[in-house]
Each structure stands twice: as C-alpha cells, then as structure tokens.
Amino acid sequence: MNVITLALYLAALFTILSAILVIVILALHFIKRREVLHREAFTAEATPIVKGYFAGKISLEETVDFLKRDPSDSLGLLIRISEGATPEESPRLKALLAAFPFQQKEIAALKSKRAPVRLKNAQILGYLRDPAAIPHLLTALDDEVLSVRLAAAQSLALLGDPDTVFPILLALDLPGEVPQRRIAEALFAFGQTAAEPMLEVLNSPDTPHSQLTIAVRVCGMLQVRQAAPRLVMLLQHDVMPVRLNCVRALSSIGDRSTISAISQLADDPDWEVRNAVMRAIGAAQASEYSSLLLRGLADAAWWVRYSAAQALYQLGAPGIQALKDAASNNLDRYARDISTQILQEHQLHDNHSPTRP
C-alpha cells in the first residue's frame, strides 16, 4: 500500500468516524430535547392537578393516580413544590409524598459507590419530608465527600429535628471560611430551633475554635439576643475568626450597648477585625465613635479605610462634613483619597474644595 492509498484510506476512515460522531451527538440532542418537552408537557398538565389537591378540590387518590404515570418527573415536580410549600400545605404534601415509593429508593442510593449519586439523593431526602430518613442522613454526615455531608446537613435542616443540630456541628467541624459559612447556612435553616444548641456551644469552655466560630455565626444570623453577653466576652478570643465573627454577630443582633466593647478592637492586629469594627459602628450610627472612624481613614488596609469612610457617611450630616474636612485637610494622603472617593460615590464632592498635594 503506497502513501497516497494509505492517506486516502485514513481520510475515508476519519470521515466515517466524524459522521458517526455527528449522528451520535444529534441523536443524544434529540433524545434530550424529547425528555425536556415531555417534562414540560407533564408539568403543565400535572401542576393544576396538584394545586387542585392542595385546594381540597381533587382527592389524594386521583392526584396519586395521575402522578404515577411518570414517577421520575413527578418527583422533580414535588420537590419544586416542597421548596415553596407553606406550613398549612405541609400535611397534604407529606401525605402525597408518602403515597410514592421514593423514600426507600433514595435511602438505598446513599450507599452508592458513586459520589454524584450519593450527593443527589442526600439532597432529595430532605424535600421528601419523611422523618424516617433522619438516621440515614446522620450516617451520611460521615461521608468521605464534603459536598455529600453538607447536602445531608441541609436535608436534616429541612426535616427540622433539633436533635440533629449537634451531630451536624460535630460532623462538620471544619476550618476555613467557605466550609464554615456553608455549615452555618445549614444550621441557620433550622431557624430558632438551633438557637439553644448554639448557646450551649458558646458557653462551653472546651469548645474547639472552629465549632465556636460556626456557633457565633449562627447566633448572629438568627439574631439571638441572649448570646450578646457571651459574644462580648469572646471579643477577646485569641483566634481571629472568633473575634471577627463576634463583631459581625453583635452588629447583626443590633444591641447598641455592645458598641463600646466592639470599639475596643479598632486597633486589632488583623485588618479583617478592624474592618468589621468600622462597619459595625456605621451600622449602629454610633456618632460618639466618629473619632475612631476618622482614625480608620488612615488605616494601612484599604478595606478598613473604605469601611471607615462609608461609616462616616452613614452618620448623616456630621459624618459627611467630617469626610469633606478630611478630603481637604487630612494630613494623610490615603485618608484624603478615600474620603474623596466616598463623597464622589454619593455625589457630594465639592470639586472646588482645596486639597493638599
């Protein structure tokens, strides 16, 4: 076989393979498109039936008979409905979900060797609203994949059993801003049910600082006022994330009597804490601490300077005048620059004001 014949052979083979690939792609696209159209048609037909069931106009049996025509799309529809269900609709939703064999299938899938399958089913079990899933979700808190553990925590929050708050916190005792934020969000989903366990964590002298940080965050998110005295004490904690989140939590709770304790961290060695202090003073409109904000205009960290300037603006006319004075007369160039920037952002800068070189 000469070179030309071989080249023609390879070209023909490549053309055939390309054609097969195009046919496969088109076939997959066609199948996917049919699935989407079927789902849309089924949802359009099923939605008024489910709404009629919730309104008491259609019986449970009639609704179940219709939804069993397509269990897979019915599950997706019921999950979407579950997300927006009101407390009044919850008993009827539970009765509807109980009529399908979803639960055992999803529980079994938690033992799959494939992490995406475990993740998907850990997410679904919370929406099925069946307390029988709780032991299996607690087991999933030990999964080797973090996203599966977080999904299990979120589903446990949807089920709302307060006895699962501590297991979630213990299982997800992780360092780092992003994991801790996600854990706090999962615990926040319990609502006020999580308040008492979080207070216990705050008041325990042996709590690891990562758990302590999460508990502080949740108390702030839930605005647990009973936590304020303990949070004030924890402002002096050795670990920066604890101090930082205590400032944020106290600011969120909004107890103005804690601003004095917060202001004592205006010279904290970590800029994140100093930044949170400036924001807290501004949020509380604590004009008596304007001298700290003016000092913050010259901070070494840009974010602290920015937050200090924004906080002065939040003080109203006196703070705005202080910004104008700083923009013109402050000895620190950075203080002048950030003051001018905030005034310009709010269209308050006087272009004719004298400025230092």
The CATH number covering residue 225 comes to: 1.25.10.10
Q: Indicate whether 249 belongs to any domain.
A: yes
Given a cut of 70, is residue 66 above it in pLDDT?
yes
Q: Report the C-alpha gap between 13 and 172 in whole angstroms.
A: 54
Range(s) of the domain holding residue 208: 162-254
Structure tokens at 85: 């269900």
> Mean pLDDT, to the nearest integer, of 225-254?
96
> Mind listing the pLDDT tens digit for each residue in 2-28?
777 777 777 788 888 888 888 888 888
Q: Which of 99-113, 129-143, 171-185, 186-200 is the least confident region?
A: 99-113
Locate the DSSP E strands across 128-239: none
% of the chain residues with pLDDT over 90: 46
Given a cut of 70, is residue 32 above it in pLDDT?
yes
Q: Indicate whether 317 belongs to any domain.
A: no
- Listed in sequence order, the residues at least 6 apart from 228 whose beta carbon sits closer than 8 Å to its beta carbon are 250, 253, 255, 258
Structure tokens at 164: 């699962």
Q: Which of 73-77, 148-152, 353-357 is the least confident region?
A: 353-357
- Distance (Å) of CA 92 to CA 53, 54, 83, 105: 8, 7, 14, 22
Locate the DSSP E strands across 108-164: none
**Tally of domains in the chain:** 1
Query: What is the signed CA dihedral for 119, 124, 130, 133, rounded to 10 degrees?
Result: -10
> Mean pLDDT, to the nearest integer, of 237-260?
96
| pLDDT the model gives residue 290 | 94
Given a cut of 90, is residue 63 above it in pLDDT?
no
Q: Indicate whether 314 belongs to any domain.
A: no
Do 347 and 338 touch, CB atoms closer than 8 A?
Answer: no
How does the average pLDDT of the chain come out, rounded?
Answer: 87
Q: Indicate whether 121 belongs to any domain.
A: no
Q: Indicate whether 353 belongs to any domain.
A: no
- Listed in sequence order, the residues at least 6 apart from 309 whose beta carbon sits closer than 8 Å to its beta carbon are 293, 297, 323, 338, 339, 341, 342
Structure tokens at 86: 């009101």
Q: Report the C-alpha gap between 172 and 178 in whole angstroms.
A: 12
Given a cut of 80, is residue 81 above it in pLDDT?
no
Q: Report the C-alpha gap between 107 and 123 in whole angstroms.
A: 11
Q: Which of 202-206, 250-254, 311-315 is the least confident region?
A: 202-206
- Residue carrying the six token digits 């003080």: 315
| pLDDT the model gives residue 357 | 47
| pLDDT the model gives residue 355 | 47
Q: Report the C-alpha gap between 109 and 203 in whole angstroms.
A: 39
- Distance (Å) of CA 256 to CA 227, 280, 290, 312, 326: 14, 10, 15, 17, 27
Do 235 and 248 touch, CB atoms closer than 8 A?
Answer: no
Q: Indicate whether 283 belongs to any domain.
A: no
| pLDDT the model gives residue 108 | 77
Q: Indicate whether 305 belongs to any domain.
A: no
Q: Report the C-alpha gap between 290 and 311 in whole angstroms.
A: 9
Given a cut of 80, is residue 79 above it in pLDDT?
no
